[in-house]
Amino acid sequence: MDDLAALERLVSVSGRDVVDVGCGGGALVRALAARGARVTGIEISESQLAAAVREDDGSGARYAVGTAERLPLATDSADLVVFMRTLHHVPPDRMPDALREAARVLRPGGVAYIAEPMTEGDFFELTSMVEDEREVRAAAQRTVAGAGAAGLDRAESFEYEVRVCLADLNALAARVISVDPTRREVFEARRPEIADAFARLGEPGGRPGERCFRAPMRVDVLRTD
């Protein structure tokens, strides 16, 4: 199952005002817009938003600079706030603020959709060679467990597995470093080890040199009071 299929299994997006927090290159923004959502993609800087804006094909989506803990949106302006692999990138002491912000911008009956990677699977083993995220991912899960303090009720949980396919080692580098440019130095210093793990873990993909890896995910659907 892919991320979009999991999201559509749990929440409706057509005709809804949706916020993608930490939208990255904007792939999810465009996919949701194509399904009839009115989408706003949020990133922390203009440079981080550049790829999403550049790749947008007239989807009608909006893009804005902001952080999870200070969304540049009006109160009661959204039906769905999506954190797709982004909550664990918020500083742990500010994660509760991110959920409070989600609750603030959500209308009554709105949903915060939290999709977080689990600390297992060969993709985690591979990427943890660059940065071990066990602590921040655990902090994200503790924050979700305490969502009631932010005015959100934990309504449903669901686990699924994504198959991450990468053309080559450079594709892995681009994916890992795009999240945090400071990772480049570590990646380059450990490139031979990472190359060995890239070839050893996972399984061959459909194209020459491609490798595919398992990435288990956990979703929590939180609803406003």
- Residue 18, helix vs strand vs coil: strand
Q: Please compute the mean of the pLDDT values over residues 64-93 and round it to a whole number.
A: 97
The pLDDT of 116-134, averaged and rounded, is: 95
pLDDT in tens, 186-218: 999 999 999 999 999 989 999 998 999 999 999
Q: In terms of CATH architecture, what is 3-119+131-163+216-224? A: 3-Layer(aba) Sandwich (3.40)
Q: The tokens of 28 are what?
A: 């999810």
State how far the alpha carbon of 76 is from the alpha carbons of 61, 69, 79, 110, in Å.
19, 16, 8, 9
pLDDT tens sequence across 130-148? 999 999 999 999 999 999 9
129/225: higher pLDDT: 129
